[in-house]
Structure 1
Amino acid sequence: MADEAHLREQLTEAFEDADYPVSGPMELLPALPNGPGTRFESGEFSMTVMELNAKTSGGDFPYDDVESFVDDIIEELQEQGELEAA
């Protein structure tokens, strides 16, 4: 099973350089180290940002900061059984 803290760290590092506030997922892409091919991995969990966007609602925009965005993505992954709740 994926390590939530490790995944949270990866998501935060990938999205922290976006120009917040952001009003939609397309505003996050320029911040990603490998663009749409950016991959997040932890344990058996492995998804590109595009897969992550397809698997989740993509977030409840707008977001004023990276922490609230990452919190929502982690919560959705937990609800879908991709991550165990901490």
Structure 2
Amino acid sequence: MSTVESELREELTDAFATADYPVKNQMGLVPALPSGPSTSFEAGGESWTAMELATKLSSRADFPYDSVDTLVDDVIAGLKDEDEL
């Protein structure tokens, strides 16, 4: 795992850990974010807002998510598939 991936994984996990799981859709994640959809995630000089991630990865999302780990795994995999990570 690269340093960038590790940093981003940690940020995403910290942000989404307080969501009320199982999360049934993207709106279920918003209350966990400190700045709502405009919450920013940064790693390796790259930056994504929660809204950008939701837009880029909506077709890959596999709701419901039962844990933060499965959610973060899918976000990371989606960014890799999009050549963003």
- The TM-score, its normalising length taken from structure 1, stands at 0.90
CA contact (8 A) 1:2 1:45 kept: no
> Is residue 2:72 matched to residue 1:70?
yes
Higher helix proportion (structure 1 or 2): 2
Q: Which amino acid is the alignment partner of residue 27 of structure 1?
A: G
Residue 55 of structure 1: how far off its partner (Å): 1.2
How do residues 27-42 of structure 1 correspond to structure 2 at under 5 angstroms?
Answer: 27-42=28-43
What is the CA deviation profile of residues 24-80 of structure 1, one whole-angstrom value per residue up to 9, with x for unaligned ones?
010000010111110000122101000111111262100100000000010000011
Residue of structure 2 equivalent to 1:17: 18
- Consecutive aligned runs of 4 or more in structure 1 exceeding 6 Å deviation: none
What is the CA deviation profile of residues 4-36 of structure 1, one whole-angstrom value per residue up to 9, with x for unaligned ones?
000000000000000000100100000101111
Aligned residues: 83
- Comparing 50-59 with 29-38, greater Cα deviation is found at 50-59
CA contact (8 A) 1:8 1:74 kept: yes
SS where residue 3 of structure 1 aligns?
helix
- Higher relative contact order (CA closer than 8 Å, sequence separation 6+): 1
Q: Which amino acid is the alignment partner of residue 26 of structure 2?
A: P
In the alignment, structure 2 segments of 5+ residues that lack a partner are none
In the alignment, structure 1 segments of 5+ residues that lack a partner are none
